[in-house]
Amino acid sequence: MSDESRDLLLSGYRRFRQDHWPEAKAEYEALAADGQKPHTLVVACSDSRADPALIFDTAPGQLFVVRNVANLVPPYEPDGLLHGVSAALEFGVKVLNVSRIMVLGHAHCGGVNAMRYGAPDTCQDFVAPWVAQGAPVVRRVCEACAPEEAEQLAEEAVVRLSLENLRTFPWIAEREAAGTLALSGVHFGIADGVLRTMRGPGPFEVLD
C-alpha cells in the first residue's frame, strides 16, 4: 500500500471513529448480536463512482451488495466450479431471505465499454472472458440504435441481461412467481445523479 493511499484510508477510518461511530455504536452492536437482515440484494458494478449504499442512502445491514465488472449475473450453472456471484445470490435469497433483488447499472461503465470494443490487452485472463457473456446483447443493441444513444442503451441492455439470467435460478424464479421476491433494474447517471428505472421494453425512465 502506498503511503498516500494508506494515509487516505487511515484518515477516513479516524473520521469514522470520531464522527460516525459514537452515534452508530448501538446500531452496530445490535447488528453484531442479532445478525443482518437486509431487505434488498443489489447486484452492482465494481466502479468506484457508483456505490449503492451512497446512492440509496442506506444504513449498515439494509443492503446485501454483490459487486463485479459490469453488474453481470451469469446464468444458473451448478457445476461444482467457483461461482462468486451465484454463491452470493444463493446466500442472499435462501439464508437472508431478501425480498428484492435489484440490478444497478451506471453511466460510463468500463465493463460495458469492453463489451463494445474489447477488453484491454492487459486484462485478458479474467476480464475478457467475463465481459464476453454480455457482448452479443450489447452488439445487437448498438447496431439498432443511433450512435449517440449506444452507450446508455448498452448499459441498460446489460441490466436486462442480468435480470433474465436471474430468472434462470429456479429458487429465484419460484419466489418471484410466488410474490415473495421482486426483481428490478435501475441505471445511475454519474454526472447528473439521476436514477432511471426499467418499466418495460423501452428505454429506462427517470425515477419519480
User: In whole numbers, what is the pLDDT of the chain averaged over residues?
Assistant: 97
Classify 155 as helix, strand or coil: helix
Rounded to the nearest 5 degrees, what angle is found at the Cα of 135, between the Cα atoms of 197 and 126?
Answer: 105
Instruction: Find the helix packing angle between 150-166 and 135-144, rounded to 10°.
Output: 140
Mean pLDDT, residues 6-28? 96
Sequence-ordered list of residues with C-beta below 8 angstroms from that of 76, at least 6 positions apart, any chain: 86, 165, 168, 169, 170
Q: C-alpha dihedral over 70, 71, 75, 78, to 10 degrees? A: 110
Rounded to the nearest 5 degrees, what angle is found at the Cα of 125, between the Cα atoms of 119 and 128?
Answer: 25
Distance CA 46, CA 87 (A): 17
120-135, pLDDT tens digit by residue? 999 999 999 999 999 9
Q: C-alpha dihedral over 27, 33, 37, 41, to 10 degrees? A: 80
Query: What pLDDT band is residue 201 in, cutting at 50, 70 and 90?
Result: confident
Regarding pTM above 0.85, the answer is yes
69-100, pLDDT tens digit by residue? 999 999 999 999 999 999 999 999 999 999 99
134-146, pLDDT tens digit by residue? 999 999 999 999 9
Residue 200 confidence (pLDDT):
86
189-198, pLDDT tens digit by residue? 999 999 999 9
Match 419460484 to its residue by C-alpha cell: 174
Kindly tell me if the per-residue pLDDT of 2 is higher than 70.
no
Over pLDDT 70: what percentage of the chain?
A: 99
Mean pLDDT, residues 101-121? 98
Residue 153 confidence (pLDDT):
97
Distance CA 73, CA 78 (A): 14
Distance CA 156, CA 112 (A): 10
Residue 139 confidence (pLDDT):
97
